[in-house]
Amino acid sequence: FCRWRFTFYLYIFTYGVRFLKKTPWLWNTRQCWNGYPYQPLMPDLHYYYIVELSFYWSLMFSQFIDIKRKDFGIMFTHHIVTVTLITFSYVTNLTRVGTLTLCLHDAADVVLEAAKMANYCKCQKLSDLLFLTFAIVFIVSRLGIYPLWILNTTLFELYEALGNFPALWVFNILLVILQILHCFWSYLIIKAAYKAFSKGKVAKDDRSDIESSSDEEETVPRSRTTHSTITTNGTNGTNGTNGYLTGGTCAEEH
């Protein structure tokens, strides 16, 4: 599944970048609202949306056939918010800013899946390098670019351009919920990076492959672990959520 997700994220991120390079709203977010709501739905944009929506629907359903994790609720919440955002923005024709959001989120996922593949191939140094790269890309894109670029235009520029209307508040509430999840995952990533690179130890997966009544957390020397500290969408890791690094040994994939 790592290879499948890596292939998808690499393809869709590349597609998104190539598509957005041709649009006026990539560098000027105010262009997202020019002529709204009478903005034509370009075939390339329609394809981009349908492929992304299909993928996130598949993630939400596959969660129910995977081993149940302790972070099931958080992951499910993320999938619900993501699918709702994509669908809502499509129905209300808020697709221009939607393409920016999708492309921004796919950037970190490409590196994450590459790090996982290196981890399973037992390329420890490469895996650790990609882990660090992922942490930087995730934090910069989700805690820096996302609020300053996406939330700024939906909260302020959209209101200035079009005034108040119900869809604006629904859309922004969903985007803010997504930002809260970003903050939570960033905390887990920083915690995992600190354990992995500063202490040289990782936390044992307290969820395990099967739900257990024991929640004891123990640490094991890095040299004795079979994998590094990378987990993904529904895989193990200390409080791992929605496919982000959490600091646990790796086991069965989604």
Place of tokens 């520029």: 157
pLDDT at position 72 is 78
pLDDT at position 67 is 67
Alpha carbon distance 102, 100 (integer Å):
6
Q: Are 151 and 160 in contact (CB under 8 A)?
A: no
201 has pLDDT over 60:
no
pLDDT at position 64 is 80
230 has pLDDT over 50:
no
Predicted confidence (pLDDT) per residue in 45-93, tens digit: 999 999 999 999 998 888 887 767 666 778 888 899 999 999 999 999 9
Range with the poorest average pLDDT among 66-80, 198-212, 213-227? 213-227
pLDDT at position 108 is 95
231 has pLDDT over 70:
no
Cα angle: 187, vertex 133, 103; to 5 degrees = 85
Place of tokens 């646990």: 248
Closest CA to 244 of 201, 187, 175, 177: 187
pLDDT at position 203 is 40
pLDDT at position 200 is 58
Cα angle: 7, vertex 9, 10; to 5 degrees = 65
Q: Are 98 and 86 in contact (CB under 8 A)?
A: yes
pLDDT at position 7 is 95
